[in-house]
Structure 1
């Protein structure tokens, strides 16, 4: 047996350590541990603060998905206080959220995950003319023919389209060759480039994909223009409790939001449609298809066993979440739990998940059996409204507090808690959302919205291209990667859909963007609690707030990476990361590319940094996890 340690795991958000025990003869992973190595602590930062400011603090949990925690936090406080936002604010928030999903998925695939599949060294071997021909063939073969809804389609013609000329790919190849020859791989450095999996794809696939990697470095910033227009900036755009802070006028060109700036937003949304349709999906399908053809469908883990979602994107304003109105208004009804999808959609078991589950203390809980936290004696699991954030760092199993050698498998080994649905672990994320909606539609639990119809059409079309039923390819590393791409295309159209609704409402004369009727704390009840739900890029996100006497008494955030990267539990078993590693074969123990690939398929993202201050506000320490942060 060989023990493999990867720490840090990620290229950007790297505060994750994994340890696997590997049978070198068979390549089978016999055991796996996933450890979040940074303490977030935002729950303690928010205690006793004004609930109207909660979103601004909570938003800083992450600097990659930039805005998702603000939305969940706003929804939690608004749910607690009974604040209903105007329709325009709902549309704008949905545009910001959907465009963030597109941006996040694009960045993940090209800049965090693509180099698990393609290599600049292999790209340097490609024939530029053959690559140009391949580009055209890929665009034709892997066009699923999905999403051509006239009312949401891009204007005039696609402004961005993959280049497919010999001259272009020859120039990209020359640049890559110069980087390789100079030994200055830079953004391509420190990887297992001699791993045999990189030779599974023709060199031309590598050159095409690396060219698009560079394209997206340039184009990704244009996708988040709606954040800048409606929220003032990116990352971390501005909001206001009760709506949005951006006043709108279709006649006053000096207004923060006017016809000119709305046109800029539309251009950005059209770009998102083009990038997902002509770059992202063809690239992901081309690479995934080749892996499927070679029978490489491991890494599913819990995906075929149990997935969970909360649902999102209310079509119109709603009166609350815990009262059930939120779930009645949803366009994207991925709320629910599906078990045993790997047996086929007909045999999968669906459980509803609505407001009743949110308030049931036995339905959604977090445990700390293997987490560096203390719970009151006799309390193995707590509902988030009763959640406690009391750190108890006991160190690694072997090594020191600052130099870990081995995690304490029998004790506590992660800063992440273990979320559970009725005592069971579950995977969340794009793959989970697609499995849930696909199952609900195919089993007749819902009459699908246009977005849900698109999901079913995407899955069926991809299954036809791959030559496999959904239960065979979806529940795998390849499937998890493709589901994220399919969802990026869906969200590109959803952002345009809500933009159209916003424009129609403005033309009808409604310019309201905020409800401030309950802004004054004197109008609030002495005690209130609320929950904010959002389907963030990495999965089901929930913020839970308890307000007493106008201040936050308790705050808990149960984030997607907590669901997926959580430590094991004696009742729920392994978490999704750990289960997926145990479902992955490793060819070369000293170069565990397969472990990187399966974890990266979840798009892991943990806390960005830990800043410590004393009671007087003096800075005590900044914990940097990036070795080059100070350069």
Structure 2
């Protein structure tokens, strides 16, 4: 099997220093990174990614009314719960054979676009941005900060900061003016979401068959006024980040190696076009390609497929180093898909979740996160989402299928984004070009460009929604019946990347249900073939550029590599205490040594 490690590393074991960061900060705190560092060579030579809690949504979803699926699964996460609700609704639409009114889909697209803008903004400026702020750079690379203070910002006229050092100061937590401004922007984008879906982060107006939102011209006008302010903000934000990220390449030769791994990217597509999407499995390949973010898999820079049918059938859930028993001997729920294609035992439709806790052992089992892979017919590929945006932009750019009302266009090698004239700034055109590497810097850069992408796309969605209302097409929900038996799936993009929900209905109840968000793809552990997960692979072999000596080492290059994926662990591990069982702790030998 093909390994995803980008190069082999040979080190004298006597020179290795074990260092761990558990929990990783600025995210939900169940992610641990355990490394071995060759201090003489200033390089990480080994990395293990751990997740320390177990939940069991796939267990307690069994027997539930399918119509409750989106309300339950939105609680998987308190950050991207609406993405789960949306994906579950897509899944249910397929199971029930219902096609929502066009207006309902435009409303869902506007809600999801607002969620991308909200979440990417708050993570980029208020969480990952801290890794590049003046205070952090002063503590880890004072020589780089000195150079930043002497380096003129190429786009100073656009964003208002004269030097790169000024940009870094603007990102200082709680004090920097851009840091504080981003918090206000996050409030506005959350309001945009609530206008469309009622409540954030667990939507109150989202249902299979459509939405309960009352669609009026005033509703979309309220959304649009906030959206135009966001477009104005992006005209400063995007060039500012370009200046900052380009500077790191120039200031630290070789920095492109931080967080770099083989280009193995997956995107399940997002933002359906209601004029083409009927949610049927039979037509999934064709309507999937009409999404406003193109689904696809990129291997070594080449677009392997844009077919949701191929994507679905290729998913394999491997265990390897995770705390579960295998289900190879368990009966299949689904032997063939609705088109008659055989379905593998390791596909989510056939998964059985059988927890088996054990003492952490990096040579055996060490995490609650399973190892999703995509089987290309030869290899089980450890795909990653790159935090979401880099995979979405890469697949969309290569496919060349997107043209969103003149606001966004994919060219086959790039994505062109047009933002119209705003209060104080003229119309601007930006182009995201496929980068040389899939690394920490480019994952972060793509996050900014995708915010602009979503803002531009939302302008089109508002146009379409207003056209429906003005034409008198104000219906937002279509009735349906729950079948006794069904096999279905939903595909979209959560903020951090790929999200799919897979459901089997028997006797009108859920017989099997498995959500697969970006976290297990990005944060997976070594699989049955020994292939490391993307976090592990991206940190392994990362060079160390931090200027601190070992006793004061902060691991900033490692943290930048991990946080570039926008890591979020609630979706990767799910907890269930069945039957009210009481657990008694007998002893705690070590702060991180016990698992339950």
TM-score (norm 2): 0.79
Separation (CA, whole Å) in 2 of partners of 1:460 and 1:502 = 21
The Cα offsets for residues 517-558 of structure 1, whole Å up to 9 and x where unpaired, read as x1x44xx2x210111111121111101111111111111011
Q: Classify 1:597/1:455 alpha carbon distance in 2 versus 1 (closer, same or farther; 3 Å).
A: farther
Are the equivalent residues in 1 in contact too, given 2:487–2:505 (CA < 8 A)? yes
Q: Is 2:512 aligned against 1:554?
A: yes
The aligned counterpart of 2:272 is: 314
The aligned counterpart of 1:373 is: 324
Q: Is 2:529 aligned against 1:578?
A: no
Are the equivalent residues in 2 in contact too, given 1:139–1:278 (CA < 8 A)? no
Equivalent residue in structure 2 for 1:287, among 244, 247, 267: 244
Q: How does 1:168-179 map to 2 (within 5 A)?
A: none
Separation (CA, whole Å) in 2 of partners of 1:595 and 1:319 = 44
Structure 2 residue matching 1:219: 3-state secondary structure: helix
Separation (CA, whole Å) in 2 of partners of 1:312 and 1:270 = 22
Structure 1 residue matching 2:98: 3-state secondary structure: coil
Separation (CA, whole Å) in 2 of partners of 1:498 and 1:368 = 41
The Cα offsets for residues 300-326 of structure 1, whole Å up to 9 and x where unpaired, read as 544x43211122222225222522346
Q: Classify 1:452/1:576 alpha carbon distance in 2 versus 1 (closer, same or farther; 3 Å).
A: farther
The Cα offsets for residues 128-154 of structure 1, whole Å up to 9 and x where unpaired, read as xxx9999996343xx6xxxxxxxxxxx
Q: Classify 1:94/1:432 alpha carbon distance in 2 versus 1 (closer, same or farther; 3 Å).
A: same
The Cα offsets for residues 311-358 of structure 1, whole Å up to 9 and x where unpaired, read as 2222225222522346436243532222112xxxxxxx3211424325
Separation (CA, whole Å) in 2 of partners of 1:570 and 1:459 = 41
Structure 1 residue matching 2:59: 3-state secondary structure: helix
Q: How does 1:240-319 map to 2 (within 5 A)?
A: 240-248=207-215, 258-279=216-237, 281-294=238-251, 295=253, 296-302=255-261, 304-317=262-275, 318-319=277-278
The aligned counterpart of 1:339 is: 299
Q: Is 2:395 aligned against 1:436?
A: yes
User: How many angstroms does 1:81 deviate by?
Assistant: 1.7
The aligned counterpart of 1:108 is: 123
The Cα offsets for residues 285-308 of structure 1, whole Å up to 9 and x where unpaired, read as 121010121331113544x43211
Are the equivalent residues in 1 in contact too, given 2:485–2:506 (CA < 8 A)? yes
Q: Classify 1:610/1:573 alpha carbon distance in 2 versus 1 (closer, same or farther; 3 Å).
A: closer
Separation (CA, whole Å) in 2 of partners of 1:535 and 1:24 = 39
The aligned counterpart of 2:374 is: 421
Separation (CA, whole Å) in 1 of partners of 2:412 and 2:114 = 18
Separation (CA, whole Å) in 1 of partners of 2:61 and 2:19 = 38
The Cα offsets for residues 133-176 of structure 1, whole Å up to 9 and x where unpaired, read as 99996343xx6xxxxxxxxxxxxxxxxxx6779xxxxxxxxxxx
The aligned counterpart of 2:559 is: 596
Separation (CA, whole Å) in 2 of partners of 1:438 and 1:359 = 21
Q: Is 2:89 aligned against 1:74?
A: yes
Q: How does 1:529-548 map to 2 (within 5 A)?
A: 529-548=487-506
The Cα offsets for residues 39-74 of structure 1, whole Å up to 9 and x where unpaired, read as 232222321111111101111111112310000111
Are the equivalent residues in 1 in contact too, given 2:164–2:243 (CA < 8 A)? no
CA RMSD of aligned residues (A): 3.3
The aligned counterpart of 1:56 is: 71
The aligned counterpart of 1:229 is: 195
Q: Is 2:303 aligned against 1:350?
A: yes
Q: Classify 1:214/1:134 alpha carbon distance in 2 versus 1 (closer, same or farther; 3 Å).
A: farther
Q: How does 1:118-137 map to 2 (within 5 A)?
A: 118-120=133-135
The Cα offsets for residues 347-394 of structure 1, whole Å up to 9 and x where unpaired, read as xx321142432553xx11111111111122568961010011111111
Separation (CA, whole Å) in 1 of partners of 2:415 and 2:156 = 16
Q: Is 2:207 aligned against 1:207?
A: no
Structure 2 residue matching 1:14: 3-state secondary structure: coil
Q: Classify 1:80/1:292 alpha carbon distance in 2 versus 1 (closer, same or farther; 3 Å).
A: same
Structure 2 residue matching 1:509: 3-state secondary structure: coil
Identify unmatched segments of 5+ residues in structure 1.
126-130, 144-161, 166-200, 249-257, 342-348, 397-407, 622-631
Are the equivalent residues in 2 in contact too, given 1:320–1:326 (CA < 8 A)? no
Separation (CA, whole Å) in 2 of partners of 1:414 and 1:491 = 34
User: How many angstroms does 1:435 deviate by?
Assistant: 2.0
TM-score (norm 1): 0.75
Query: Which structure dedicates a bigger proportion of its chain to helix?
Result: 1
The aligned counterpart of 1:399 is: none
The Cα offsets for residues 483-537 of structure 1, whole Å up to 9 and x where unpaired, read as 1111111011112211111001111110010011x1x44xx2x210111111121
Moved more, 115-124 or 570-579: 115-124
Are the equivalent residues in 1 in contact too, given 2:268–2:493 (CA < 8 A)? yes
The aligned counterpart of 2:12 is: none
Separation (CA, whole Å) in 2 of partners of 1:512 and 1:326 = 27
- Number of residue pairs the alignment of both structures matches: 516
Are the equivalent residues in 1 in contact too, given 2:327–2:351 (CA < 8 A)? no
Structure 1 residue matching 2:124: 3-state secondary structure: helix
Q: Classify 1:499/1:456 alpha carbon distance in 2 versus 1 (closer, same or farther; 3 Å).
A: farther
Separation (CA, whole Å) in 1 of partners of 2:155 and 2:495 = 26
User: How many angstroms does 1:612 deviate by?
Assistant: 5.0
Q: Classify 1:459/1:301 alpha carbon distance in 2 versus 1 (closer, same or farther; 3 Å).
A: farther
Q: Classify 1:135/1:388 alpha carbon distance in 2 versus 1 (closer, same or farther; 3 Å).
A: farther
The aligned counterpart of 1:383 is: 347
Are the equivalent residues in 1 in contact too, given 2:58–2:515 (CA < 8 A)? yes
Q: How does 1:490-501 map to 2 (within 5 A)?
A: 490-501=453-464
Separation (CA, whole Å) in 1 of partners of 2:222 and 2:306 = 38
Structure 2 residue matching 1:297: 3-state secondary structure: helix
Identify unmatched segments of 5+ residues in structure 2.
1-15, 143-147, 331-343, 419-429, 585-596
Equivalent residue in structure 1 for 2:283, among 295, 302, 324: 324
Structure 1 residue matching 2:27: 3-state secondary structure: coil
Are the equivalent residues in 1 in contact too, given 2:372–2:524 (CA < 8 A)? yes
Separation (CA, whole Å) in 1 of partners of 2:539 and 2:138 = 28
Structure 2 residue matching 1:337: 3-state secondary structure: strand
Q: Classify 1:121/1:392 alpha carbon distance in 2 versus 1 (closer, same or farther; 3 Å).
A: closer
